[in-house]
Structure 1
Amino acid sequence: MPNDDTHKPPGADDIAPKSAPLRWLWKFNHGLDIVKGLSMVTVASSLVVGYFQYLNAYQEKVGSQAKEDMAAATATYTEISGAFAEMQALQQTLYSDFTRAVRGKFDASDKALDTKNAQAISERYEKARIALRENIDVLTRKAEVYIDWASNTYRDPAEKHNVGDDPLSRQVLRDYAFDCSDKYNFPAFGNVHAEDDTPTKEVADDEYCAIAEKRGVDDRTKPKDAFVRICAGPQDRAAKRIYWYSAKHHVLTMHYCFEAAHDRLAAARQWASRSDRDIAKEKEIVEREKEINAQLDDLAGRVGAFSSLALHQMERIRVKYRPVGFLCSVPLVRNIPNINCFPIRTASLTH
C-alpha cells in the first residue's frame, strides 16, 4: 500500500531555497504575498493602532520627563535661594548689631544684647559662608542644567553644542571688576510689551567698551535683550555679557556681590568673633553705614530677582510639557515645527 505521505503537498520549508541569500529573498517575497492577501481595512487598522500606541508611549515619556524636570528645578531653586537668603540675612543682621553696639558705645561689653546676638550668629555665618564657597560651582551648574536648559523650549540636546559656550565665570567677574553698586548692573528683565519697531543701533561687544554711553535694561527693552555688558578696563578686552534670563548668571553675580560685601565687613566680623579689632576700619564702616546698608539691600534684591526668575522659568517648564491639542494627533501635521508637539527630542546625537 503506498505511503500517504508521498502525496502530501510540499510545505514552505520544503520549497525554500537552501542557500542563505536566496532563502532571505524568498522569505521577503513570501511576506509580501501574505500582505497582498490582507484586506485594505485590515492593513489600515493595523497602522492606526500602531500609530496611537506610539503616541501613547511617547506621551507617557513626556509625562515622566515633566515630573523629573519640575522636581529637579524646584529642588535647585530651593537649595540656591535658601543658601543665599540665609547668608544675606546673617550678614545684614551682623552688621546692624555691630553698628548699634559701636554707636551706643557698648561694643566692648559682652553682656550687651547686640553684642551677644552678633557673637551668637558669627560662627554660624562663617561656617555657612565657607560651605557656600565650597558649593558655589556645583550650584552654578545646577542652575544652568535644571533651570536654564530645562526651561528652554527650543533647546535640542541633539544639536551641536561647544563645551564652555558660556564664557561668564567667577574668574571673569573678578578680572572684569564687576561693579555690584552700578545701577546698570542690577538684574532687570525687560518688558514683554516693549515696541519692536524702534530702530536701535547695535554696538558690537568688541566696540562697546570704547563708547562713552553705557546701556542698561529698562521698560523699553525686550526680554530677549535683557542683558548687560561689562568691561575689563579702558579698551583692553571685549565686553562680556550677563543675561538676566539666565539662572546661572544670577548665581554667579549674587555670589560675587556677596563676597564683596563679606570682605568689606571684615572689621565687623572680627568684632563679632571676638578677634583682634581694627578700630580704624570699624570707624570707617560705621561712617559709611548708609552706603553699606544700600549695598546689603541690593544683595537682598538680587536674591529676590533670582527667585522671581526661577519661578518664571519653572512656569515655562509647565508650558513645555503641557498636554498637546488634537492637531498633535494628526499624522504629518504634528511634525510641523511651529506646533511644538515634540517637547522630548528624538533626533540622533551629533557632535
Structure 2
Amino acid sequence: MPNDDAHKPPPAADDIAPKSAPLRWLWKFNHGLDIVKGLSLVTVLSSLVVGYFQYLNAYQEKVGSQAKEDMAAATATFTEISRAFSEVQALQQTLYSDFTRAVRDRSDESDQALLTKNARAISERYEKARIALRENIDVLTRKAEIYIDWASNTYRDPAEKHNVDADPLSRQVLRDYAFDCSDKYNFPAFGNVHVEDDDTPAKDVADDAYCAIAEKRGVDDKTQPKDAFIRICAGPHTHSRIAKRIYWYSAKHHVLTMHYCFEAAHNKLAAARQWASRSDRDAAKEREIVERENEINAQLDDLAGRVSAFSSLALHQMERIRVKYRPVGFLCSVPLVRNIPSLNCFPIRTASLTH
C-alpha cells in the first residue's frame, strides 16, 4: 500500500555507511562531529572540568600513597641502621671499660670478680652483634642510599639517566685511601644554612690536584650545606692521584665511614676481647691498650658521635621527604599553570622523560 513506507524504521547507521574503508572512516568521523554539535557548550566544558579534577584527585592519591611508602621505608631504614650501630658500639665501649677497670683493680685474674663476669657476659653478645653487622653492612649501605638519600632528594628524577657507579665511595676505597677516623677534619659536619655565596670561599680545586696542595679544606661554620664534603687522598698502597669525596649529607657515606671506624676500633681492642672471651692472653698488648686508655676512649667517643651525626642527618632527610610530598597550593590545580617547573607541583613522575 502507498503508506507502508511511512511505517518502516529508519535505516541503521551501518546500512547507509559507505562500504569503502577510507570513505567509511571519513563518514564515521563526520558522524562523530554531528553528535558533538548536538551537545551544548556548557555540557562539553563540564565534562572536561570533571575529567580534569578526576585526574588531579587520582594523582594526589598516588602522591599520598607514595609519601606513606617513602616515609615508612626511611623510618624503618633509620631504625635498623641506628639500632645495629648503637648496640655494637655500646657493647664495644662497655667491654673496653670493664677491661681497663679490671686491670687497674688487679681483678682481671679472678673469674669471680664482678667486672670479669660482666665483661664475659658482654663478650659473646658483642661478637655476635659485630658479625651480624659485618654480614649486613652492604645491604644497610644500599638501604641508606635508596630509602634515605634518593627518597629525600627533591630534584632526583628516576626517569633521568644515571650511571650505575656514579658514587665511587666504598669500603674498599676507605681502606685503600687509609681514612683516618681520629682526624677531626674527617668528622661529620653539615655546614651553615645561613652562609651566603659571597661569605664562603669556593672549593674550586679539582679532585686530581687537591692532594698536591698544602692546605686541606674541611667543613666549618663558613661552609654552605652544598659544600659539606671532605676529600681524602690515596694511601701508601695505591697510586691514584684523584681525591675521593665524602659527602656528609649522604646517609650512605655515613654508614660506610661508621663501619670502617668501628672495625678500626675493633682491631685495636684485640687484647681486651681475648681476655673477655677467656682466650690466650697477650700481656704486652694488654699493657699497651691500657696505657693508651685516653686515646682509645676518645676514639670510641668519636664513633658514638658518628652514630649521633647519622641519626641527625636521617631525621633531617626524613623532614625533606615530608616537604617533598606536602600538599600543593591552589595554583597547582590550574591547568597549564601547574606545569611551570618553579611551582614544583609534580613530586612524582608518572611517565618516562628520557630513554
Alignment gaps of 5+ in structure 1: none
Aligned residue runs from structure 1 range 172-183, under 5 A: 172-183=173-184
Report the CA distance between 1:43 and its aligned residue: 1.0
State the partner residue of 2:162: 161
CA distance in 1, matches of 2:41, 2:62: 32
Report the CA distance between 1:87 and its aligned residue: 0.6
CA distance in 2, matches of 1:336, 1:201: 33
Question: Which whole-Å deviations, capped at 9, do the CAs of 1:126-174 have from their partners, x for residues lacking one?
Answer: 0110010000000000000000011011110111111111000011001
Q: Are positions 1:285 and 2:289 aligned together?
A: yes
Aligned residue runs from structure 1 range 93-172, under 5 A: 93-172=94-173
Query: SS of the residue aligned with 1:197?
Result: helix
CA distance in 2, matches of 1:38, 1:130: 73
Of 288-297 and 231-240, the range deviating more from structure 2: 231-240
State the partner residue of 1:317: 321
State the partner residue of 1:241: 245
Alignment gaps of 5+ in structure 2: none
State the partner residue of 1:205: 207
The 1:272–1:105 alpha-carbon spacing in structure 2 relative to 1, beyond 3 Å, is same
CA distance in 1, matches of 2:246, 2:52: 45
1:104 is aligned with what amino acid?
Answer: D
2:91 is aligned with what amino acid?
Answer: L
Of 232-241 and 338-347, the range deviating more from structure 2: 232-241
CA distance in 2, matches of 1:152, 1:42: 43
- Give % identity: 88
Aligned residue runs from structure 1 range 326-337, under 5 A: 326-337=330-341
CA distance in 1, matches of 2:300, 2:22: 79
The 1:101–1:201 alpha-carbon spacing in structure 2 relative to 1, beyond 3 Å, is closer
Aligned length: 351
CA distance in 2, matches of 1:306, 1:127: 23
State the partner residue of 1:9: 10
Aligned residue runs from structure 1 range 37-52, under 5 A: 37-52=38-53
TM-score after normalising by structure 2 = 0.96
Of 299-308 and 330-339, the range deviating more from structure 2: 330-339
Given candidates 227, 234, 254, the residue that maps to 1:250 is 254
State the partner residue of 1:217: 219
TM-score after normalising by structure 1 = 0.97
State the partner residue of 2:71: 70
The question of whether the paired residues in 1 share the 8 Å contact of 2:325 and 2:347 is answered with yes
Report the CA distance between 1:21 and its aligned residue: 4.0
Question: Which whole-Å deviations, capped at 9, do the CAs of 1:278-302 have from their partners, x for residues lacking one?
Answer: 1111110000000000000000000
CA distance in 1, matches of 2:23, 2:124: 82
Query: SS of the residue aligned with 1:136?
Result: helix
